[in-house]
Structure 1
């Protein structure tokens, strides 16, 4: 017996119809997009990063509800919550497609010199004939899309990032002092929904995942990166100045609210129990 597999784009495996563009634009404070231009893509990315935090609190609490767009809508658009890469990119990719952009969903290996899995979801988006690496879900990392071009350098909120290509393998690097630190590597093979379900399962449950054992909340704005990792809040400026503060359980609610994450009383109590 033979089976027929539908090519990417022929079925609604991404549940695009559940994408609430109006609610998304309201949450991010972005005006409606008249045409899928490069300028609009840039402003959409910045509005998203400014409005919706990166956070893994549901993973830490062992109660992540999944990465379907309907679930993500309720969390990221219906509450003052954020998510990690799959949630951000599932939402953003659907929004972009409904606004008329061509989107390819990809997956990257973070710190590719280490023997870790491909777990990071990102997008390549076509606008006005140019492909752009578009990644609003890499924590306190990227504020703007980057032309998918070997050697392209883009300032990301005050930190330069560079793309390099070698025989079909792309790397994204960040300038740290006089050096370039490789953040992740990827190819341009478009992925299916099940690939992210598998990666999400590993990332949200495996004991070696960096997200299962500690809170990670990140915010990025021009010139300032803020990161709550475990019980340490780090504020980094573009001049290299860094301050780190220990956060107590009593300070947790105010700290999270300052990062744009508002928990219910029950969620806050459960998270404090892990502190």
Structure 2
């Protein structure tokens, strides 16, 4: 990427107020504000609309047009915002293990960021759907670290790291990765796989999430859930297409794409049992 992001427009988009300085407190605040304002969403792959990892297009989509995106889009934009503030940032890539066996060999299909602050390395990731990291973690193994939601930790063995979250009293792995920096072309390849491979789950159903203060909201096809911090999860199934479209705008803060086949694709989703 050769062009710089419009940092003031990005900060307005996420509702960040105050001075954006390249320190740890700002990094955590930026990440929490980003995931509360910009939802994780896969509408473009779901609608067979190509995703191009080019900053001007991503900036128009996520910042100007009021859309969200999935990990590559989210973390590309976040990376460039951090660089504009003055953080040294490198991209990493991970194998997703969320809700899978710990030893599964999955594709390298998830982007995250390594950020340097005062000689110390941190990890940031604003693109992991319903279990997105609402803050940032010091790159230190075996250390439980607080976020605005669940505690997180990192494990390391033989150069392989695992990101875990404490969910209902159990440490669950989100993904594993190493610290080899990646070039943009690596993400272009992984993005093409994730957004076009026939077996990619992003093509076949809605996968929407937003992490607001005290709440995680998720929509999986017709199943809407509100996970309250320290409380119960409330779930309901949605049959009516208008209700789903309203939910996307009202709860997920999405400005819906103006395409004629959005309604038809939603109506084709399997009805709840």
User: Could you state the TM-score of these two structures normalised by the residue count of structure 1?
Assistant: 0.89
1:166-177 → structure 2 map (5 Å cutoff): 166-177=157-168
Cα distance 1:172–1:250, how it changes in 2: closer, same or farther (>3 A)?
A: same
Structure 1 residue 95, shift from structure 2 partner: 1.1
Partner of 1:255: 247
1:77-226 → structure 2 map (5 Å cutoff): 77-111=63-97, 113-140=103-130, 141-226=132-217
What's the CA shift string for 1:177-233, capped at 9, x where partnerless? Answer: 332111100000000111101100111111222211111110112331110011110
* 3-state secondary structure, aligned to 1:80: coil
Could you list the runs of 5+ residues in structure 1 that have no partner in the other structure? 1-13
d(CA) in 2 for partners of 1:223, 1:34:
24
d(CA) in 1 for partners of 2:264, 2:85:
39
Structure 1 residue 102, shift from structure 2 partner: 0.5
What's the CA shift string for 1:38-61, capped at 9, x where partnerless? Answer: 111111111111111100001100
- The answer (yes or no) to whether the contact 1:157–1:220 under 8 Å persists in 2 is no
Structure 1 residue 273, shift from structure 2 partner: 4.5
- The answer (yes or no) to whether the contact 1:54–1:139 under 8 Å persists in 2 is yes
Partner of 1:4: none
d(CA) in 2 for partners of 1:34, 1:216:
31
Give the RMSD, CA atoms, in angstroms: 1.7
1:1-12 → structure 2 map (5 Å cutoff): none
* 3-state secondary structure, aligned to 2:180: coil
Q: Work out the number of aligned pairs and report it.
A: 261
Partner of 1:10: none
- The answer (yes or no) to whether the contact 1:219–1:225 under 8 Å persists in 2 is yes
Partner of 1:239: 230
Structure 1 residue 32, shift from structure 2 partner: 5.9
Partner of 1:5: none
- The answer (yes or no) to whether the contact 1:157–1:221 under 8 Å persists in 2 is no
- The answer (yes or no) to whether the contact 1:33–1:99 under 8 Å persists in 2 is no
- The answer (yes or no) to whether the contact 1:61–1:270 under 8 Å persists in 2 is no
Cα distance 1:61–1:274, how it changes in 2: closer, same or farther (>3 A)?
A: farther
Structure 1 residue 155, shift from structure 2 partner: 2.7
Structure 1 residue 157, shift from structure 2 partner: 3.0
Structure 1 residue 235, shift from structure 2 partner: 1.3
Cα distance 1:25–1:176, how it changes in 2: closer, same or farther (>3 A)?
A: closer
- The answer (yes or no) to whether the contact 1:54–1:82 under 8 Å persists in 2 is yes
* 3-state secondary structure, aligned to 2:94: strand
Structure 1 residue 127, shift from structure 2 partner: 1.3
Partner of 1:40: 26
- The answer (yes or no) to whether the contact 1:25–1:32 under 8 Å persists in 2 is no
* 3-state secondary structure, aligned to 1:108: strand
- The answer (yes or no) to whether the contact 1:110–1:120 under 8 Å persists in 2 is yes
Runs of 4+ in 1 over 4 A off after TM superposition: none
Partner of 1:59: 45
Decide which moves more: 175-184 or 115-124. Answer: 175-184
